[in-house]
Structure formats: structure tokens, C-alpha cells
Amino acid sequence: MVTILKKEKLADTVTRIVVDAPMIAAKAQAGQFVILRPTEEAERIPLTVADYDREAGTVTLIYQIVGTTTAKLDALACGDAILNMAGPLGRASEFEGMHNVAVIGGGLGTAIAYPQAKALHELGAKVDVIAGFRNKNLIILQKEMEAVADRFFLMTDDGSAGEKGLVTDALRREIEAGAGYDAVIAIGPPVMMKFVSLLTKTYGIRTVVSMNPIMIDGTGMCGGCRLTVGGTVKFACVDGPDFDGHQVDFDELIRRNAMYRKEEEASFAAYREASHEAHACRLQTMGEETT
């Protein structure tokens, strides 16, 4: 049982929680993740450690409500407990040889990119952050990113904030302008990571991507998170989650991530209907009590 100490809405459907997990906080490093199960009937899901405080013994997690399990997690309030949490899992990110880096976050991936940008900044690297969102309502961690970035570029698909365009537009422009990056870290939807990797490959810039595939145990036990990297099969949970973006088979990853789309949508629809009915019931009861 892990207690939620703080809970804060960052954007539409995006929430940040701080949880009391001293053993995980003592060990966590940038790039690692936890596996949690909010309630008995829920799935086990991986969430990247967005931040940690070793002294306070707390871990920060950021999630987007995309399905039943994240909705169940979001139904918990401050002071409530998450039923199970194990971590830190996965290999920590390696920053060796990175002195001038573009860190790219796409959507919720920005939450995973932030600890990397922060770690690089603390190591003394020059860090440009390019963060992309669909629209201004989905922007997260702008202030945090600005605090650790030498330069911060905000992109939105519809131009409702920052520049209109994709993260790859900004990246190409900065590379062409002579930014001289020795590494690019890209974290976001697989299709974004794919196009960043294709772009950087043409410039020969080392590129690290962070995988977030379907996962159950997070300890190498099930192979559900397997992906092809440089022609060999890797398990994201124990071999990653960071991999060389130029070696990852993104098309396979995208296909595998869609494996349960139908089941997930049906489950989420049923959950929303049930919670809507429960809500309607409560309103009705309240109404009866007041009259």
C-alpha cells in the first residue's frame, strides 16, 4: 500500500501525484519506472518516475487518463492508498558523452523527458528542450522544463500556444541552424519517436528513445513488452526502457501497442457508464435527502 500525499491536475486528463514510497525514492534514477495496481481488479501498469525526493521519501508520478486502470487510479484522492507498487524497475538512463543535448517530449512523454532533462542539466550539459502537444489545454511541465533548459521550444499541432508545428520541425530547424547536438533524447508517442529517429539518422546524431509498451510484471517474466532492436528481440522492462532510436522497429511497436485496443475501449466505456450511473445515484440520493 502506497499513500498518495499530493494530487494535482496538470492539464485536461493529466494528473500529477506524489506518493509515500521511501524505498523506491531511495533508489530511483532518471529513466526508471514503477509498476502499480491501483485496486484489486485493476491491471498492473508501468509509470515512469517523473521525480523523486530521497530525503522526503517520496516519488512523483504523472499519468494521463486513457483507460480503466488510469481512471481507477485517478478515482483515488489524497490520503488514499494505491494497492500495489513495485520499483524502481528498468535500467537507469545513461548520459555518458552527452554534453549538448536536445530533449524532446511529446504529450505525456514530456513527463518522462523531464527527469532526463533535469539530470542532464545537473550534470552540466547544455540542454535544449522541445516539447510538443496537440493543443494548449494539454501542455504540462512548461515551468519545470524552462527551469532546466538552456532553450525551451513549445510546439502545438494547432498553434494554440507556442509555435504551430511538430517537434521534428523545431528539431530540424535547430540542427540546420548549427545547434551541434551530440545526442537527442526523444520520448513520446511511438510515431513521434519514429520520425525524430528517422530525422536524426540523416544527420548521424545519436538518439535515445524510451519505450512504454504493454507490460505486466516489469521484471522480465512475461515477454509482453518485447520489441525488436537492431534485429534482436529485447524486453523493454529489463533491457530498457531506453534504446537506440536508430535500431528500434517502431512499426512493430506501434502494432503491438494496439493489440488490446478493442478490449481497452470496451472496458473503459463500461467503466465510465458504471461510474456515471453511480454518480447519478448519488445525486438522486442527495436530492432525496434535501427534499
* Smallest separation, CB 2 to another protein (Å): 9
Give every CB contact of residue 169 below 8 A, 6+ residues apart in sequence.
155, 163
Bridge pairing between strands 163-164 and 183-187: unpaired
Distance CA 106, CA 193 (A): 9
Does 53 interact with another protein (rule: CB under 8 A)? Answer: no
Of 209, 124, 109, 128, residue with least CA distance to 174: 128
H helix intervals, the chain:
22-27, 68-74, 109-122, 142-148, 167-176, 190-203, 236-239, 250-257, 261-290
Candidate ranges 5-13, 84-92, 95-103, 142-150; the one touching another protein (CB under 8 A):
84-92
Give, for 95, the enclosing helix (H) or strand (E). Answer: none
Grid coordinates representing 24 are 523506491
Site track 216-255 with another protein (rule: CB under 8 A), x = hit: xxxxxxxxx-xxx----x----x-------------x--x
Does 20 interact with another protein (rule: CB under 8 A)? Answer: no
Site for another protein in 89-148 (CB under 8 A): 89
Q: Which residue in 69, 156, 168, 212 binds another protein (CB under 8 A)? A: 69
* Smallest separation, CB 111 to another protein (Å): 21
Distance CA 170, CA 198 (A): 15
* Smallest separation, CB 180 to another protein (Å): 36
* Smallest separation, CB 236 to another protein (Å): 12
Give the interface with another protein as residue ranges (CB under 8 A). Answer: 23-24, 27, 37, 41-44, 68-69, 72, 83-89, 216-224, 226-228, 233, 238, 252, 255-256, 258-260, 263-264, 267, 271
